[in-house]
């Protein structure tokens, strides 16, 4: 199963791979060279397919839990001053996604969307300390009955050139439902109340909509 954001890219890639493979088959005389070209094209198609995969999952929904919004690895757990929305201290948990991770962004909590904003910006590597403030990004805040306002921020990286954000202010969203998609790698930051109990550790691998990042 593939995410809707990849349908057009997958179709275009498939057409390009077929055309180039047929061209190589007719015009490249050396059998080994021709086979190498076709193999490289097939590998490229497989990489595109795996990037846009959207596997079916059973989500353990629980209003007392904050779920990881994405697949990846926890790279930051620290208390910071959040400048854009809260303008006070928050507990930041950041999950870095490699190009081989599933790139669907999911709502860590359910509730009402209080804030949704896109920011154009740079394309620093996603682990750069200033990437959360200077890179292209979207900020979404959902008000949970249990945790209050929970902010998650999609951040573009060196390879990610497009962030898709579905959140609209005023709508009610379900925990683990699609919040957006980041094309070709990056990270997501989650900002929580400072007294939140964190359930993950640095460098731990997490799964979007499944791993419990924090709980009451």
Q: Which residues are catalytic?
A: 186
User: Which residues fall within 8 angstroms of residue 207, CB to CB, at 6 or more apart?
Assistant: 57, 68, 71
The token pair at 112 is 């009402």
Q: Per-residue DSSP letters for the chain?
A: -B-GGGHHHHHHHHHHHHHHHHHHHHH---HHHHHHHHHHHHHHHHHHHHHTB---------TTEEE-SSSEEEEEEEEEEETTTT-EEEEEEEEEE-TTS--EEE-SS-EEEEEEEEE--B---TTSTTHHHHBSEEEEEEEETTTEEEEEEEEE-SS--EEEE---TT-EE-TTSEEEEEET-EEEEEEE-TTPEE---TT-EE-TTTSEEEE-
Cβ–Cβ < 8 Å for 16, 175: no
């Amino acid at each position: 199963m593939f995410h809707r954001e990849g349908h057009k890219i997958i179709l275009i890639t498939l057409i390009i791979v077929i055309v180039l493979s047929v061209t190589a088959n007719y015009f490249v005389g050396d059998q080994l060279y021709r086979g190498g070209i076709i193999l490289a094209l097939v590998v490229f198609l497989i990489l595109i397919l795996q990037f846009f995969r959207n596997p079916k999952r059973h989500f353990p929904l629980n209003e007392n839990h904050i779920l990881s919004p994405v697949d990846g690895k926890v790279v930051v757990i620290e208390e910071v001053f959040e400048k854009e929305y809260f303008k006070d201290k928050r507990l930041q948990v950041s999950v870095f996604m490699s190009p081989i991770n599933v790139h669907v962004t999911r709502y860590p909590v359910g509730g009402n969307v209080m804030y949704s904003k896109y920011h154009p910006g740079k394309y620093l590597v996603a682990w750069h300390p200033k990437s959360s403030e200077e890179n292209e990004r979207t900020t979404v805040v959902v008000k949970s009955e249990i945790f209050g306002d929970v902010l998650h921020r999609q951040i573009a990286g060196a390879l990610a050139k497009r962030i898709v954000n579905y959140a609209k202010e005023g709508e009610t969203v379900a925990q683990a439902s699609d919040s957006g998609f980041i094309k070709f790698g990056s990270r997501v930051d989650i900002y929580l109340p400072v007294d939140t109990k964190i359930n993950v550790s640095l460098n731990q691998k997490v799964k979007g909509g499944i791993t419990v990042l924090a709980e009451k």
